[in-house]
């Protein structure tokens, strides 16, 4: 097996939603499943599947609550169903349908929501959902996935299809660096991935913040701080073992997520460490506020969701 | 439908009412009014129309029934027990800690329950999901759903109505239990959903309006619905609390259990009705 991580992480940028659409279309032959969308199939990329397998694609129109319950009905009748829209609507608007009609009966519905976080960009706060992980994590039976890049997103689609039960997977609009080598990557549900080892601090990152965390590591190395970077693609069930291991090893933790600091990765990691190995930590994320219009890259900088933002939080732990 | 069969189903409906009342009384909570109003619909579906097998509740080609107004599950549990999906002796455990007969229906845990429901508006959508799955996978099971008149105030009901018509779900038959009452009072005074027939017709559904306590009319309407190329709604004029004189048309019995005195009075009325139906069946 070669190196899982690509040497040149800035050579290619792909949105995780694109990997999702391609994965669905490629898996359509091997597996029997339905794909549902709510008038955003071009944006969520489910249209790629829809063109290839029209008899298994269902456009529900702009009616997300109905879409989630339709998916539940299809799953109850024996076939897994993917349901996609923007995160705000797929899991925000339809939260109760997910909770009562999908998670409670433990149905095989995979809610794959794109345009999560502030990197939706110009649409502004109404569409920038930064609370999805917190909501989905609180629902019993729900598995919550947030892939780091296109390679991971692609692999995760098959993994969640093989997982029996409800899943929420977060996808993004913005083209982000591809950090994993497709040839050598394998997705293991519930297992964190050490992207870089280190002994002074552990940066736990999820989703698109992994690329920023790796950049932050370079900044910190230059200042004599040896940072480990761990990718937490499965936020629930969370990999307690790797969190405890690195908490004990480094004694300092920083979490990084394109999500509110309330209830997301930062909270999940803090829940583990506070009970098993209390550790000094800081959280990088949206600081309990709404988003705003702007270009995706500008917004990441505006909210300090970048290498400098992570490095600053790390350095504060050494003061 | 032959007279003999009609009388059998009337007896079954009367039995459902007796068991439903017992369930709610033993639980000291639950929803008697809307359970008593759907007894004939359930008796017809489970004892006459649906392709089901109590010994194999998950058989893939079975007809499905989604009780979208999940709070009426005392009636659903009663018919399932009478039909042999689980022992009738379990009925008194309804809503008790440790019982699988939860306050609202749970699929997989309770044999014969095809969908977990309870939060209004969602069951009809799930029924649409089951129906479109059958059509797209070329399976020929039918999907039935029972929704409430109060439930039709939920916006999701109309999202589902649009969906079913758009995808021509002619294998979907929805009973609308038009018992005229919801928790806070008359549906027309709380938030008027009428005219329900015209609304469904405007959504391109096949609409029939019947007496929901007449097995004969239910049978006639369902057979018509089988011939339609549209999704069907059968608006069933019913009486909330049907069969118990002091519960009939009284919204205060939507979601409360009778105390001992009231229970005894109600049980006596329902038992008498059951005996009468039984004798009618025996005497032909």
Residue A120 sits in a domain whose CATH number is: 3.40.50.970
User: Which chain A positions have a beta carbon within 8 Å of B130's beta carbon?
Assistant: 73-74, 76-77
Indicate if A87 and A218 belong to the same structural domain: no
* pLDDT mean over A1-29: 88
B181-209 residue pLDDT tens: 999 999 999 999 999 999 999 999 999 99
Beta bridge partners of B144: B65, B173
Cα(A208)–Cα(A215) distance, integer angstroms: 12
Counted domains in chain B: 1
A291 and A147 assigned to the same domain:
no
Nearest-CB residue to B126 (from A79, A101, A106) = A101
DSSP secondary structure string, A48-112? HHHHH-GGGEEE--S-HHHHHHHHHHHHHTT--EEEESBHIIIIIITHHHIIIIIITTT--EEEE
Q: Is residue A205 part of a domain?
A: yes
| Closest listed residue to residue A6, CA positions, set A204, A149, A109, A168 | A149
Is residue B275 over pLDDT 80?
A: yes
Residue B104, min C-alpha distance to chain A (Å): 11
Residue A3 has pLDDT above 90, yes or no: no
Domain boundary among A177, A206, A221: A177
Query: Residues for chain A: how many in total?
Result: 319
Considering only alpha carbons, which residue of chain B is nearest residue A33?
A: B133
DSSP-derived 3-state class of residue B98 = coil
Mean pLDDT, chain A, integer: 97
Query: Same structural domain for residues A148 and A244?
Result: no
Q: Verify whether the Cβ–Cβ distance B116 to A58 is below 8 Å.
A: no
Q: What is the distance in angstroms between the Cα of B198 and the nearest Cα belonging to chain A?
A: 22
- pLDDT at site A10: 65
Q: What digits encode the pLDDT tens for the residues A214-240?
A: 999 999 999 999 999 999 999 999 999
**pLDDT tens digits for range A92-148:** 999 999 999 999 999 999 999 999 999 999 999 999 999 999 999 999 999 999 999
Is residue B283's pLDDT more than 50? yes
**What is A117-149 written as a DSSP string?**
SGGG-TT-TTT-B--HHHHHHTSTT-EEE--SS
Q: Which of A177, A203, A220 is the last residue of a domain?
A: A177
Average pLDDT score over residue span B57-63? 97
Q: Which of A64, A152, A215, A257 is catalytic?
A: A64
- Bridge partners, residue A253, by sequence: A202, A281
B128: nearest CB among A73, A78, A105: A73
* pLDDT at site B246: 98
How many whole angstroms separate alpha carbon A34 and alpha carbon A16? 20
Asked whether residue A249 is domain-assigned, the answer is: yes
* β-strand partners of A57: A35
Q: Is the pLDDT of residue A205 over 70?
A: yes
By Cβ distance, the residue of B122, B131, B155 closest to A69 is: B122
Question: How far is residue A56's CA from residue A81's CA, in Å, rounded to a whole number?
Answer: 9
Give the model's confidence band at B163: pLDDT under 50 very low, under 70 low, under 90 confident, else very high: very high
Q: What is the pLDDT of residues A42-94, one digit of tens each?
A: 999 999 999 999 999 999 999 999 999 999 999 999 999 999 999 999 999 99
Instruction: Examine the domain organization and report whether A21 and A135 are in the same domain.
Output: yes
The answer to whether residues A264 and A293 belong to one domain is yes
Question: What pLDDT does B1 receive?
Answer: 86
Residues A69 and A170 in one domain: yes
Residue A1 confidence (pLDDT):
43
| Encoded tokens for B242 | 């049907």
Whether residue A8 is predicted with pLDDT greater than 80 in this model: the reply is no
Residue A155, pLDDT > 60, answer: yes
Q: What's the CATH code of the domain at A222?
A: 3.40.50.920
Contacts A71 to B, Cβ<8 Å = 129
CA atoms within 13 A on the CB side of B55: 0
Mutate to test the interface with B, among A50, A73, A83, A108 (most CBs of B within 10 A): A73
Q: How far apart are CA B200 and CA B205, in angstroms?
A: 6
Looking at A142, A177, A212, which one is the last position of a domain?
A177
Instruction: Give the H or E element holding residue A267.
Output: helix A265-276
Residue B186 host element (H or E)? strand B185-186
Q: How confident is the model at residue B272 (pLDDT cuts 50, 70, 90)?
A: very high
Same domain, A169 and A201: no
Nearest residue of B to residue A71 by CA position? B129
- Do A198 and A83 belong together in one domain? no
How many CA atoms lie less than 13 Å away from A257 in the CB half-sphere?
A: 34
Does A136 touch chain B if contact means CB atoms closer than 8 Å?
no
Tell me the residue range of the domain where B54 lies.
Answer: 3-283
* A261 occurs within a structural domain: yes
Could you tell me if A53 lies within 8 Å of chain B, comparing CB atoms? no
Dihedral (Cα; B16, B17, B18, B21), 10-degree rounding: 120
| Chain B interface includes A105 (CB < 8 A) | yes
Whether A119 contacts A296, CB under 8 Å: yes
Q: Kindly state whether residue A216 falls inside one of the protein's structural domains.
A: yes
Report the pLDDT value the prediction gives residue A7, as an integer from 0 to 100.
Answer: 76
| HEC per residue, A204-261 | EECCCHHHHHHHHHHHHHHCCCCEEEEECCEEECCCHHHHHHHHHHHCEEEEEEEEEC
Say yes or no: A58 and A167 in one domain: yes
Domain membership of residue A74 (yes or no) is yes
Question: A272-311 burial, b for 16+ CB within 10 Å, e for fewer?
Answer: bbeeebebebbbbbbeeeebeebebeebbeebebbbebbb
What is the CB-side half-sphere exposure of residue B120 using CA atoms within 13 A? Answer: 14
pLDDT at A143: 98
Q: Which domain holds residue A45?
A: 13-177
A71 and A171 assigned to the same domain: yes
Look at residue B100 and tell me whether its pLDDT is greater than 50: yes
Q: Which residues of A touch B169 (CB under 8 A)?
A: none
Q: Which helix (H) or strand (E) holds B278?
A: helix B260-283
Strands B172-178 and B232-237: parallel
CB-CB under 8 Å, B160 with A74: no
Q: How many structural domains is chain A composed of?
A: 2
Give me the CATH number covering residue B270: 3.40.50.970
Partner residue opposite A76 with nearest CB, options B114, B136, B155: B114
Chain B residue whose CA is closest to A98: B122
């Amino acid at each position: 097996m070669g190196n899982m991580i690509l040497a040149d992480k800035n050579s290619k940028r792909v949105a995780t939603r694109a990997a999702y659409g391609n994965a669905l279309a490629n898996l359509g032959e091997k597996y029997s499943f339905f794909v549902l969308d709510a008038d955003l199939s071009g944006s969520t990329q489910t249209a790629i599947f829809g063109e290839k397998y029209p008899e298994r694609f269902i456009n529900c129109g702009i009616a997300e609550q109905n879409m989630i319950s339709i998916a539940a009905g299809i799953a109850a009748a024996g076939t897994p169903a993917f349901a996609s829209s923007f995160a705000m609507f797929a899991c925000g608007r339809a939260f109760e349908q997910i909770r009562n009609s999908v998670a409670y009966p433990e149905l095989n519905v995979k809610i794959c929501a794109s345009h999560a976080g502030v990197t939706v960009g110009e649409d502004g706060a109404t569409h920038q959902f930064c609370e999805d992980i917190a909501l989905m994590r609180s629902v019993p039976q729900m598995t919550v996935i947030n892939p780091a890049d296109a390679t991971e997103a692609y692999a995760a689609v098959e993994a969640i299809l093989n997982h029996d039960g409800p899943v929420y997977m977060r996808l993004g609009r913005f083209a982000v660096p591809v950090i994993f080598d497709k040839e050598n990557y394998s997705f293991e549900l519930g297992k964190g991935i050490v992207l870089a080892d280190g002994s002074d601090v552990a940066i736990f990152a999820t989703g698109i913040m992994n690329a920023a965390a790796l950049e932050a590591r370079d900044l910190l190395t230059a200042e004599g701080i040896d940072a480990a970077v761990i990718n937490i693609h499965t936020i629930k069930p969370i990999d307690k073992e790797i969190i405890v291991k690195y908490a004990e090893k480094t004694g300092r933790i920083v979490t990084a997520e394109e999500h509110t600091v309330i209830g997301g990765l930062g909270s999940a990691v803090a829940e583990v460490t506070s009970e098993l190995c209390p550790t000094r930590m800081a959280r990088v994320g949206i600081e309990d506020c709404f988003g705003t219009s702007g270009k995706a890259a500008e917004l990441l900088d505006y909210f300090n969701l970048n290498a400098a933002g992570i490095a600053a939080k790390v350095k504060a732990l050494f003061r | 439908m032959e007279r003999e069969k009609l009388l059998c189903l009337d007896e079954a409906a009367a039995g459902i009412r007796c068991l439903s009342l017992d369930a709610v009384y033993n639980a000291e909570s639950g929803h008697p009014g809307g359970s008593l109003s759907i007894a004939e619909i359930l008796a017809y579906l489970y004892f006459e129309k649906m392709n089901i097998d109590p010994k194999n509740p998950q058989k893939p080609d079975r007809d499905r029934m989604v009780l979208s107004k999940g709070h009426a599950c005392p009636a659903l549990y009663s018919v399932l027990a009478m039909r042999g999906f689980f022992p009738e002796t379990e009925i008194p455990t309804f809503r008790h800690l440790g019982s699988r007969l939860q306050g609202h229906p749970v699929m997989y845990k309770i044999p014969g329950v095809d969908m977990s429901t309870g939060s209004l508006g969602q069951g009809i959508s799930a029924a649409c999901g089951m129906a479109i799955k059958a059509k797209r996978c070329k399976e020929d099971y039918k999907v039935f759903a029972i929704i409430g008149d109060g439930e039709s105030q939920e916006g999701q009901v109309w999202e589902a109505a649009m969906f079913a018509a758009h995808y021509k779900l002619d294998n979907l038959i929805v009973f609308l239990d038009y018992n005229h009452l919801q928790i806070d009072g008359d549906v027309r005074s709380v938030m008027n959903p009428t005219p329900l027939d015209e609304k469904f017709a405007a959504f391109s559904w096949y609409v029939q309006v019947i007496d929901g306590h007449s097995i004969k009319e239910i049978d006639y309407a369902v057979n018509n619905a089988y011939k339609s190329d549209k999704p069907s709604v059968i608006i069933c004029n019913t009486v909330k609390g049907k069969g118990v004189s002091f519960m009939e048309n009284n919204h205060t019995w939507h979601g409360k259990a009778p105390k001992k005195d009231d229970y005894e009075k109600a049980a006596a009325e329902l038992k008498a009705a059951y005996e009468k139906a039984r004798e009618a069946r025996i005497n032909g």
